[in-house]
Amino acid sequence: MNKPKVFLLPDLGEGLTEAELVSWLVAVGDEIRVDQPIAEVETAKSMVEVPSPYAGTVAVLHGEPGQTLDVGKPLISVTPVGAAPGAALPASAGRAVDSPDTVVDSPAAVAAEVYREEEKAGSGNVLIGYGTPGGHGVARRSRAPRRGAVQVPAAEKAADDLVLMRTRVPGKLGAVISPLVRRMARDHGVDLGELQGSGASGLIMRRDVEAAIKPSVVERPEAPAGTEAPAPAGGTDARTGLGIAGRTPVRGVRKAVAANMARSRSEIPEATVWVDVDATALLEMRAALKRSDPHNTPGLLAFIARFVTAGLKKYPELNTRIVTTEDAAGGASKEIVAFDGVNLGFAAQTDRGLMVPSVRNADKLSARELDAEIRRLTAVVREGKATPAELGSGTFTLNNYGVFGVDGSAAIINHPEVGILGVGRIIDKPWVVHGELAVRKVTELTLTFDHRVCDGGTAGGFLRYVADAIENPGSVLADL
């Protein structure tokens, strides 16, 4: 009799440990095919449709819309095509040991068997950070149980092993960790890519993460007497005496943004420089291009992005990243990693919060090509369909906060980058031109940079380069 196949929530990329189930795209009893989308889930990075690696009848949906599911936990159970009706897996899945001679599969054993079958065959479907190897895995053999042996603990261990194998750290196959360990690391701002696991084959254990966390964080003292307890929704706030209108859980994108911004502020010794810029010439140049080609004229942000990528080539210190490495003696040291190319991130406001997609190899694109890619990525993130790679691969960020009607902002660096350039609104201001007072189109550029990678001279040089390019766009573009 064919057993139901239990599909576990895969790692959807960037080492994410959980996802919120937004909606089911199938129902119990539906016939589904391989690679058919079965659920829509929201991670801290994007909205993703999860396809099924199995064909058959939907037996169980393991979760309700709005529920947060851990990577490696059951998502859906599918009865294979041609299976007997009795093969359907009940919602309270799980069978016990009937006798010393009979070992019946638990959900953990079913899940482990599913993984073994995927290792041998593979569905051919691949998501970011998830995919079956299509025959490259090693099949495991199961020995017949000894008479009188209780096999449930072994099945549970197999499920634990499965969870570990489903939650690899991208780029570090040996550093396999459980969702609980990964969540602990994320909550405390520990970079798992910088840890050396103490377990077998470099396995990162809970003790490794705890050792990287400050004792004051790991050993949380009890709240002192008089600490305010959270009031229930609809109740009264103890501190202000005001009624509570509602509570909004910090999760998904907002949770990821909050953690990243807090980490940036705590780790990066940042400094900010700014300058007012006369953008009249750039606006006039774009207006002339629009008159000659009204349907193929890049936006102002695309021109500024072109100037930024050129400036980063001239001042490459701002297109770097600081990483921690381990020397031969086991000590930790930091190094500055420079990149051969620029992935330019740009801030985009969406209904799900502030997103920062990045234009890959932006230094190789023209202003028109940058404009097209910026528009494409903006549409993708607003639809919630951006991939983790599109949202997590930037090397420098451009932030146009002028669209909100503000002149300047000391922006927070998008960790682990080392710089962010902000552009304020363009407004009419009195400006001295050739000794005469005139009304010009003026904007403010603000550069926040990591003082560990460069000093004010480099930051000021980069900022002045971009400002000069905006004030004299024709001459600069001629040299690009």
Tokens 């589904």, located at residue: 32
Q: Looking at the structure, do residues 10 and 141 belong to the same domain, yes or no?
A: yes
Q: How confident is the model at residue 459 (pLDDT cuts 50, 70, 90)?
A: very high
DSSP state of 434: T
Q: Looking at the structure, do residues 403 and 453 belong to the same domain, yes or no?
A: yes
359-415 pLDDT per residue, tens? 999 999 999 999 999 999 999 988 888 887 888 889 999 999 888 899 988 889 999
Domain ranges, residue 196: 167-223
CA dist 52 and 469 (Å) reads: 51
Tell which wins on pLDDT, 199 or 286.
286
Report the amino acid identity of residue 304: I
**CB-based burial label for 26 (10 Å; 0-12, 13-18, 19+):** middle
**CB-facing half-sphere around the CA of 457: CA atoms within 13 A:** 0
pLDDT for the residue 74: 92
Instruction: Using alpha carbons, select from 337, 319, 341, 346 the residue that is nearest to residue 449.
Output: 319
Q: Looking at the structure, do residues 268 and 405 belong to the same domain, yes or no?
A: yes
Structural domain includes residue 248: no
296-353 pLDDT per residue, tens? 899 999 999 999 999 999 999 999 999 988 777 777 888 999 999 999 999 888 877 7
Q: Looking at the structure, do residues 123 and 213 belong to the same domain, yes or no?
A: no
Buried b (16+ CB within 10 A) or exposed e, 398-424: bbbbbeeeebbbebbbbbbbbbbbbbb
71-100 pLDDT per residue, tens? 888 999 999 876 554 444 444 443 333 333
CATH number at residue 203: 4.10.320.10
- Summarize the confidence of residues 22-38 as an average pLDDT: 90
Structural domain includes residue 373: yes
pLDDT for the residue 34: 87
Structural domain includes residue 370: yes
Structural domain includes residue 233: no
Q: Looking at the structure, do residues 19 and 126 belong to the same domain, yes or no?
A: yes
Q: Looking at the structure, do residues 319 and 362 belong to the same domain, yes or no?
A: yes
Structural domain includes residue 284: yes
Q: Looking at the structure, do residues 149 and 174 belong to the same domain, yes or no?
A: no
CATH number at residue 371: 3.30.559.10
227-279 pLDDT per residue, tens? 455 556 668 888 888 888 888 777 766 677 778 788 888 889 999 999 999 99
Quote the number of domains for the chain: 3
Last residue of a domain, one of 127, 142, 166: 166
Give catalytic residues, as residue numbers: 451
Structural domain includes residue 69: yes
**CB-based burial label for 475 (10 Å; 0-12, 13-18, 19+):** exposed
Instruction: Using alpha carbons, select from 84, 90, 68, 86 the residue that is nearest to residue 6.
Output: 90
Q: Looking at the structure, do residues 259 and 382 belong to the same domain, yes or no?
A: yes
Q: Looking at the structure, do residues 177 and 282 belong to the same domain, yes or no?
A: no
Q: Looking at the structure, do residues 172 and 65 belong to the same domain, yes or no?
A: no
Last residue of a domain, one of 123, 148, 166: 166
Instruction: Using alpha carbons, select from 403, 398, 388 the residue that is nearest to residue 363.
Output: 398
R_g of the chain, CA atoms, integer Å: 27
211 C-beta neighbours (distance < 10 Å), count: 13
Q: What is the pTM of this model?
A: 0.57
Structural domain includes residue 237: no
Q: Looking at the structure, do residues 360 and 453 belong to the same domain, yes or no?
A: yes
Q: Looking at the structure, do residues 303 and 377 belong to the same domain, yes or no?
A: yes
**CB-based burial label for 343 (10 Å; 0-12, 13-18, 19+):** buried
CA dist 96 and 99 (Å) reads: 9
